[in-house]
Amino acid sequence: MRSTTFAIASIALSLANAQYPASLNIPPDLDLDALRSNSLYLRWRPSYHVLAPEGQMNDPCGPMYDNTPRLSHLLPTFPSTCQIRQHFLVAHHLNRGMITWSDVSGWRNRSMLAISPSPYPARDWLGVFSGGTQPVNLHGQSDGNLTLMWTGEARFPDNWQKPYANHAKAQFIATTSDGGKTWQKYVGNLFLTEAPGNWDITGWRYPIFQADQELDSEDAGPQIPLCTARASDLTNWTFQGALFEPTQNYSFEGDATWTGNWGYNFDMRDLFSMVEDANYGGDGVSRHWIVDMGAENAYRFHPVAHWSLYAFGNIEQRANGSATLDVQAAGGLDWGNTYALNQFYDHVCDRRIIWPWSDEDPNNYGVKAQGFQGSLGILRESFILVWHHVSAPAEAVTEGPDLRVQFVDPYQFRMNVSPVGLELYDGC
């Protein structure tokens, strides 16, 4: 990354070469596209959010809590060339309190990189995309090793609106035995190289995985499209079908203003379960399943073309033995611009943490001078909020005496929405 320098005698510099720190005003008629690279690097750069040292920050890959050293891990993706969406890399960050994050081995000379594309013609030569991480080895054992699964890209362009090209994507595995300082690509790569059978797909990526005994007992798996693997062999996965397949531009209960719109394509989706918390009106026993997903090209009630949504319900078994999600509620995880959410379970505080990604706003204007695009959003805690004794609307029908929805609040502060009061983050 090119360093940014400042000069007291900046008035002597031409506008095309000037540096604009946060303390200086920018002339309103200045063409930001005419400025040189990184000249606006510190002008609007956030100081709180996790973001790449250069280029476009992308999806939050593999957030995870490792109980052995009591460290949280994050492996976000960003491109190797500023403003060019190719050759994506995976960086690695560590944290003990989820507030201040440190690059593993530092950030200079890209020392924080965990995974890079392989040479051509490997199935990941064009880039590495998001996935999941767990503090287990390839046999599902907690022995200090970490396992990362991600998607490798071999063909561009990559867009759900174009026909999916065979062999465009495959899933990869890497492991580390030194806490993430060095990662080794699994010698047996690849796995889940193609969609099964004649399945008509728009993409084949983002292997987000986790262990769950409840899923095991129901003969279901850890992701959508749903796949299973025995804990003793995380390299051997079996396709189990789709949890649900809505029609195009479907809205649960028909009202996008409340439940969102599922668009034409699901992106960065994951599956996890949560038990009702007595602190939020629950019974402390009932378990429910949540699917978080990004919906692309959704109905334009939402101001952007992609939307962060959730579906809430119970997993049941079809006649053929595959699993299906009986959706009971749905809604927006974020009514703003954050997208491509990933999640992990915080074992210390017994909570589910969701991490979103925020794309850039200015439609690529001035981004070369800015030197970076986007950042990760503020952490959020996801829990089930139960309202009791809810009265049905005058012209609608609801089932049951209670209403259950997924409730997501900012991780630093809890939104002042009844019955949850405003609280500052205190560690747990």
Instruction: Please state, in angstroms and rounded to a whole number, the distance separating the CA atoms of residues 428 and 424.
Output: 10
Q: What mean pLDDT is reported for the chain?
A: 73
**Cα angle, residue 411 at apex, residues 408 and 413 outer, rounded to 5°:** 95
**In which band, very low, low, confident or very high, does the pLDDT at 49 lie, cut at 50, 70 and 90?**
confident
* Nearest in space to 340 (alpha carbons), one of 71, 3, 8, 77: 77
Which structure tokens are listed for 38? 């990184």
Residue 76: asked if its preceding bond is cis (omega within 30°), the reply is no
Q: What is the model's pLDDT at position 332?
A: 83
Please determine, for residue 416, whether its predicted confidence score (pLDDT) is greater than 50.
no
Q: What is the model's pLDDT at position 215?
A: 56
Residue 63: asked if its preceding bond is cis (omega within 30°), the reply is no
User: Can you list the domains of the chain with their CATH numbers?
Assistant: 1-44 (no CATH), 45-410 (2.115.10.20)
Residue type, 372: F
Q: What is the model's pLDDT at position 5?
A: 29
Please determine, for residue 423, whether its predicted confidence score (pLDDT) is greater than 50.
no
Q: What is the model's pLDDT at position 362?
A: 62
Q: What is the model's pLDDT at position 268?
A: 83
According to DSSP, the residues that pair with 27 across neighbouring strands are: none
**In which band, very low, low, confident or very high, does the pLDDT at 377 lie, cut at 50, 70 and 90?**
confident
Instruction: Please state, in angstroms and rounded to a whole number, the distance separating the CA atoms of residues 113 and 103.
Output: 9
Taking residues 109-126, report their average pLDDT. 83
**In which band, very low, low, confident or very high, does the pLDDT at 190 lie, cut at 50, 70 and 90?**
confident
Instruction: Please state, in angstroms and rounded to a whole number, the distance separating the CA atoms of residues 76 and 58.
Output: 7
**In which band, very low, low, confident or very high, does the pLDDT at 175 lie, cut at 50, 70 and 90?**
very high
- Over residues 302-343, the pLDDT tens digits come to 667 788 888 888 888 888 777 888 888 888 888 788 888 888
